[in-house]
Structure 1
Amino acid sequence: MTLYYGKVDQSACIACGRCQLLAPRLFSYDAEGIASLIPDHNAGTHELTASEQIAFKLAYRGCPTGAIKRANTPWPHD
């Protein structure tokens, strides 16, 4: 099984709401409507489960700006 880690490039997010419509258990918004990944507070360190991967892929493919990012390894801490 392929490992998936996700996060939102918040500088590219246009607050359209599509990711939460497609994967409501994975995405939330701040006061300005900018998305983040719920499981790890957008750190990119949570390995998505098989069921999370299905929902994540829908949101990833549906993001109009490509702000949702995925990787096969965790993102390094800034």
Structure 2
Amino acid sequence: MHIEIDRDVCIGAGQCALAAPRVFTQDDDGYSTLLPGREDGAGDAMVREAVRACPVHAITLPESAG
């Protein structure tokens, strides 16, 4: 799984960090970001819930080609 955050869309609501705090956090400007080493979701079952919780759909899990 690969996680992408569109920083042009993110409004810093923080729902992802609440849903999956072992994967997401907020940077100094309040926008969502991934914790270091968690770019693949680190097997956290709550990543998909965090994607659904984003009010502006700034987080995506693109399907791997291949």
The gaps in structure 1 that reach 5 residues or longer are: none
What TM-score, normalized by structure 1, do the two folds share? Answer: 0.70
What is the deviation of 1:47? 3.3
Residue correspondences, number = 65
> Hey, what does 2:11 align to over in structure 1?
14
Please state whether the residue corresponding to 1:28 is helix, strand or coil: strand
2:22 is paired with a residue whose SS is coil
Across the aligned residues of Structure 1 and Structure 2, the Cα RMSD in angstroms comes to 2.1
Correspondence 1:30 to 2:23: no
- The alpha-carbon deviation at position 39 of structure 1 amounts to 4.0
Aligned with residue 51 of structure 2, among 57, 60, 64: 60
Runs of 4+ in 1 over 6 A off after TM superposition: none
Is residue 72 from structure 1 mapped to residue 63 from structure 2 by the alignment? yes
Aligned AA (1:27): F
* Superposition deviation, residue 17 in structure 1: 1.1
Deviations 1:15-49 (A, max 9, x none): 111111100011011111000122447xxxx4334
Q: What TM-score do you get using the length of structure 2 for normalisation?
A: 0.81
